[in-house]
Amino acid sequence: MTTLWVNGRIVAPGESGVSALDHGLTVGDGIFETALVDDGRPFALTRHLRRLERSAALVGMSTPTETEIRAAIEETLAAAAATSPVTHGRLRITVTSGVGPLGSDRGDAAPSLIVGVVPTGAWPAEVRAVTVPWTRNERSAVAGAKTTSYAENVVALAEAHRRDAHEALLANTRGELCEGTGSNVVVVLDGELLTPPLSSGCLAGITRELFLEWAGQEGLAVVEKDLPFDVLAEAEGVLLTSSTRGVQPLAAIDGRPLERTEAGEKARELYDRRAAEGIDP
C-alpha cells in the first residue's frame, strides 16, 4: 500500500491534498526525486536532496527547506512502518510551484510538497529494452532537471511495454545515445565500459554518479564519451543504472540477445558491494 504525506499531513490514497489549481497539476511545473528504500531507510538521500536543489535552481522554483523535507520523509516512513515495514520500496519526493493561474505564469503561492512510499518487488531476472524513435532535447530549457513533465517518458515506456520490454532507450537531437525513460545507460564495446556524458542531455543519475565515483576509486575504467545511437546495435552488453535498479545488465535490446560480459559483471559487482557499505554514501 502507498503511504502519502501531502502539505503537512498523512493522507489516504485518493484523498485530495493539493488544489486543483496547483501548477504541478495544471502545467507540470514541478520537480521530483525517487530513492530506493532499503529496510525502511532511503538510500543516498543526501545526494537525492542535493539533486532536488539543483533541479529547483534550473527551473527557477523555490522549495521547502531540507529540514522540512527530511521531517516529511521521516513522518511518511514512520506511518508506512506502522502498517507494514517497507523492507524494499520506492520513496518519491515531489515539489511543485504551488497554486498558480490557469496558464504558464507562476503565482506567488508557497510550493507544495508531496512524499510517497510504496513497497516494491524485485526486478525480473531478465530485463529487456527497446529503442524508440523519439529524442531527448539536450538544449531544452529544463535539460538536466528532474521535472514532473513526464509525458514523453510515459509515451516511450508504453511503447516499450507494447513491445514486451521493460525500458525504452532514446537518442538526443544529434543522434547520440542519451538515456532511458528512467535510467542511464552504459554500453560494453570491445570489452570497454562507455557511457554518454551529461552534455548528451541525460539526467545526472544518482546511481550513475555513485558508480562512476566508485569505479574511479577502484580502478575500473568507465569512459564518458559521445556515442552514436546505433552503438546499441553492436554493443556486446548494455547496462542500465537507476536508483531502483542499481547496475542492471540487459538480457536483450530490440530483440537481440546480449551477453553477460566480464566488464558488465565487474561493474554490477562493484556497485552492489559498495552500496551495501552504507545507507547514505
Shared-domain flag, residues 172 and 246: yes
Q: Which residues, 6 or more positions from 108, have their beta carbon under 8 angstroms from its beta carbon?
A: none
* CATH number of the domain encompassing residue 138: 3.20.10.10
Check residue 211 and give its pLDDT: 98
Shared-domain flag, residues 243 and 162: yes
In the block, cell 580502478 appears at 219
Shared-domain flag, residues 113 and 206: no
In a domain, 201, yes or no: yes
pLDDT digits (tens, 9 = 90+) for 99-125: 999 999 998 999 999 999 999 999 999
Shared-domain flag, residues 135 and 268: yes
Shared-domain flag, residues 159 and 263: yes
In a domain, 76, yes or no: yes
Please identify, among 91, 119, 147, the residue that sits at the C-terminal boundary of a domain. 119
How many domains does one find in the chain?
2
In a domain, 231, yes or no: yes
Shared-domain flag, residues 137 and 240: yes
In a domain, 63, yes or no: yes
In the block, cell 530490440 appears at 254
Regions of the chain with pLDDT less than 70 = none
Shared-domain flag, residues 149 and 262: yes
Three-state secondary-structure class, residue 202: coil
Please identify, among 63, 91, 119, the residue that sits at the C-terminal boundary of a domain. 119
In a domain, 234, yes or no: yes
In a domain, 281, yes or no: no
How many other C-beta atoms are found inside a 10 Å radius of the C-beta of residue 53? 12
Shared-domain flag, residues 198 and 248: yes
**Domain range spanning residue 235?**
128-275
Shared-domain flag, residues 110 and 193: no
The pTM for the full model equals 0.96
In a domain, 79, yes or no: yes
Q: What residues are paired with 119 via a beta bridge? A: 89
Check residue 277 and give its pLDDT: 98
CA distance 43 to 90: 10
Shared-domain flag, residues 73 and 202: no
Check residue 206 and give its pLDDT: 98
Check residue 264 and give its pLDDT: 97
* CATH number of the domain encompassing residue 108: 3.30.470.10
In a domain, 280, yes or no: no
Rg of the chain on CA atoms, in Å: 19
Check residue 83 and give its pLDDT: 87
Shared-domain flag, residues 73 and 147: no
Please identify, among 77, 97, 119, the residue that sits at the C-terminal boundary of a domain. 119
CA distance 229 to 131: 9
Shared-domain flag, residues 102 and 231: no
